[in-house]
């Protein structure tokens, strides 16, 4: 192995349900406003505009049991999302081939510093400070598509302290799983290890330290977290 002038960054690895082998993360892409009722609650037109994407950092992803409340925000919101993990990639992937690129699925949370996002939106600036902060993307263990197929229907929900806060159905996605991959691959060359957060249904809201969050995507998995 070649020497490096500083310690090489560690590859982020996600657990795989029922396996001792893990999934190495390369990039993290997120889809904005992919459920009509969430687009409406954020004050946007839910019609089928071209999808838009933003990114988190690979090392924002983790199989977590806790979520450390981040600094410089007093309005951190949960967004439950189904997560796709790719086993292969490419550019300009046809919709019909897209699902063959998926290794598996998990359920995760796109934590958002909403106050900072609102400031950035007002100033026409980019969203990284709101979206790509430390521990902003906890996710469940992945489940291989070879076991569960490609879940495009089923409940997706999130509870805070036992109260249901978000509910939706995977079939409400404006841009469906294969379309998300196809569209994203027009903009970026996708590759094994890429993770895509597929958008959140309505009901997003703030959390505080001490909250217990449980969320799930039917047929995919459950994630339970304590806010610390």
Nearer to Mn ion, 110 or 183 (CB): 110
Closest residue (Cβ) to Mn ion?
Answer: 110
Question: To the nearest whole angstrom, how small is the minimum distance from the Cβ of residue 91 to Mn ion?
Answer: 24
Minimum CB separation from Mn ion for residue 34, in Å?
A: 8
SS3 37: helix
Report long-range pairs for 35-38 (Cβ below 8 Å, ≥24 apart).
Answer: 35/168, 35/172, 35/173, 35/174, 35/199, 35/200, 35/201, 35/202, 36/172, 36/174, 37/168, 37/172, 37/201, 37/202, 38/168, 38/199, 38/200, 38/201, 38/202, 38/203, 38/204
* Residue with Cβ nearer Mn ion (145 or 197): 197
Nearer to Mn ion, 60 or 144 (CB): 60
Nearest distance in Å: CB 206, Mn ion: 15
Binding site for Mn ion (CB under 5 A): 79, 110, 200
Least CB distance from residue 163 to Mn ion, whole Å? 21
Residue with tokens 């924002």: 60
16/137 with CB nearer Mn ion: 137
Tell me how far apart the terminal alpha carbons of the chain are, to the nearest angstrom. Answer: 39
Structure tokens at 106: 């998990």
CB 89 → Mn ion: shortest distance, Å? 22
* C-beta closer to Mn ion: residue 54 or 69: 54
What tokens does 9 get?
A: 């960054």
């Amino acid at each position: 192995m070649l020497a490096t002038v500083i310690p090489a960054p560690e590859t982020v690895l996600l657990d795989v349900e029922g396996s001792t082998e893990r999934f190495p993360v390369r990039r993290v892409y997120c889809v904005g406003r992919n459920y009509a009722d969430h687009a409406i609650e954020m004050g946007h037109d839910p019609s089928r505009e071209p999808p838009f994407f933003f990114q988190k950092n690979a090392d924002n992803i983790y199989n977590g049991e806790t979520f450390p409340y981040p600094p410089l925000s007093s309005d951190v919101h949960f967004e439950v999302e189904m997560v796709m993990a790719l086993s292969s990639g490419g550019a300009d992937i046809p919709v019909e081939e897209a699902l063959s690129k998926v290794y598996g699925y998990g359920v995760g949370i796109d934590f958002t510093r909403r106050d900072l996002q609102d400031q950035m939106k007002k100033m026409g600036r980019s969203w990284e400070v709101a979206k790509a902060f430390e521990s902003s993307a906890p996710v469940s263990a992945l489940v291989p598509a070879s076991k569960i197929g490609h879940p495009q229907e089923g409940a997706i929900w999130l509870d805070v302290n036992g109260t249901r806060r978000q509910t939706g159905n995977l079939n409400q996605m404006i841009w469906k799983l294969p379309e998300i991959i196809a569209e994203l691959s027009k903009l970026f060359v996708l590759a094994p290890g890429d993770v895509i957060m597929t958008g959140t249904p309505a009901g997003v809201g703030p959390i505080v330290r001490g909250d217990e969050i449980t969320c799930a995507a039917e047929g995919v998995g459950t994630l339970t977290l304590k806010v610390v």
